[in-house]
């Protein structure tokens, strides 16, 4: 990967990476999803800590999504350890010698098979992690590419160290950014049916948070159900 991406190079690279998605959007008059080939739901963990509670919460979502239909594939993407620089979205070049790991993520999201995206963040002082904000800002590349994520179904998950630590605020931050991509935002499905998945981390474990785990399952199921309808 070129470590000296300037603005022009970035836009060029980004455009090439998502070109396929523009041609084969999951929903659209131009190129509907190929019938009978199934869909993929992707979870994006925006915790800087790999394999911790945000990733665990997303895995619960994805497992629930998979249970909706045999035609649902799932994939968990962890941003932990990746260099995702939000400033690039504003045209600021990466510092010399740095790799732009967002370019590795782009093709995964742009894949026409991806019909649903669930973004998960730890709650950091009532908001998203800086990694999550950088990721959401970098989605600018899709917006600039004729809204290449348009009509994918999206949901949000937040894990906090306190029961009421700002999970819903965090979910709403994610929603606001995703709405700018013309995605179809959904919450956790019934019977909880609120903003999304809101989990409580106790000692790096979410399994004891029965309500939060239920919201994660309902979010995964809801994203898959709507994505399957949209892809019809």
Ligand X SMILES: Cc1cc2nc3c(=O)[nH]c(=O)nc-3n(C[C@H](O)[C@H](O)[C@H](O)COP(=O)(O)O)c2cc1C
Q: Do 126 and 88 form a contact (C-beta atoms < 8 A)?
A: no
Position among 102, 124, 135, 142 found at the interface with ligand X (CB under 6 A): 124
Number of residues that bind ligand X (CB under 6 A): 18
Nearest distance, CB of residue 109 and ligand X, angstroms: 20
Q: Which residue lies nearer to ligand X by CB, 54 or 215?
A: 54
- Please compute Rg for the chain using Cα positions: 17
Chain CA centroid to CA 219, Å? 13
Task: Show contacts with ligand X in window 15-54 (CB under 6 A).
Answer: 47, 49, 52-54
Q: List the one residue out of 112, 136, 104, 114 whose CA is nearest residue 14.
A: 104
The token duo for 138 is: 């970098």
Position among 112, 122, 155, 196 found at the interface with ligand X (CB under 6 A): 122
Widest pairwise Cα distance in the chain: 50
Which window, 144-152, 157-165, 180-188, 212-220, contacts ligand X (CB under 6 A)? 157-165
Task: Show contacts with ligand X in window 55-114 (CB under 6 A).
Answer: none
Q: Which residue lies nearer to ligand X by CB, 80 or 180?
A: 80
Q: What share of the chain is helix, strand, coil (3-state, %, to 5)?
A: 40, 15, 40
Which window, 97-105, 111-119, 124-132, 178-186, contacts ligand X (CB under 6 A)? 124-132
Give the count of beta carbons closer than 10 Å to the beta carbon of residue 115: 29
Nearest-CB residue for ligand X: 165
Going by the DSSP 8-state scheme, the letter that residue 33 receives in this structure is: P
Which window, 65-73, 95-103, 122-130, 146-154, contacts ligand X (CB under 6 A)? 122-130
Q: Which residue lies nearer to ligand X by CB, 44 or 230?
A: 44
The token duo for 185 is: 């935002």
Nearest distance, CB of residue 174 and ligand X, angstroms: 14
Position among 123, 157, 186, 224 found at the interface with ligand X (CB under 6 A): 123
Q: List the one residue out of 136, 112, 154, 117 whose CA is nearest residue 19.
A: 112
Q: Do 117 and 44 form a contact (C-beta atoms < 8 A)?
A: yes
Tell me which residues touch ligand X (CB under 6 A).
47, 49, 52-54, 122-126, 159-162, 165-166, 201, 204
């Amino acid at each position: 990967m070129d470590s000296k991406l300037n603005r022009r190079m970035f836009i060029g690279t980004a455009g090439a990476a998502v070109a396929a998605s523009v041609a084969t959007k999951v929903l659209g008059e131009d190129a509907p999803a190929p019938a009978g080939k199934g869909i993929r739901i992707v979870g994006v963990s925006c915790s800087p800590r790999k394999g911790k509670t945000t990733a665990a919460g997303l895995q619960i979502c994805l497992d629930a999504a998979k249970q909706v239909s045999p035609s649902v594939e799932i994939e968990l993407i962890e941003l932990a350890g990746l260099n995702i620089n939000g400033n690039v979205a504003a045209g600021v070049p990466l510092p010399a010698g740095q790799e732009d790991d967002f370019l590795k993520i782009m093709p995964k999201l742009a894949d026409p098979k991806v019909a649903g995206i669930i973004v998960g963040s730890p709650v950091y002082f009532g908001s998203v992690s800086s990694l999550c904000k950088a990721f959401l800002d970098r989605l600018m590349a899709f917006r600039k590419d004729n809204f290449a994520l348009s009509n994918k179904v999206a949901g949000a998950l937040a894990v906090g160290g306190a029961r009421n630590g700002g999970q819903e605020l965090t979910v709403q931050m994610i929603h606001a950014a995703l709405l700018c991509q013309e995605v179809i935002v959904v919450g956790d499905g019934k019977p909880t049916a609120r903003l999304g998945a809101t989990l409580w981390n106790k000692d790096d474990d979410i399994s004891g948070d029965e309500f939060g785990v239920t919201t994660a399952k309902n979010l995964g199921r809801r994203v898959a159900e709507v994505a399957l309808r949209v892809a019809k």
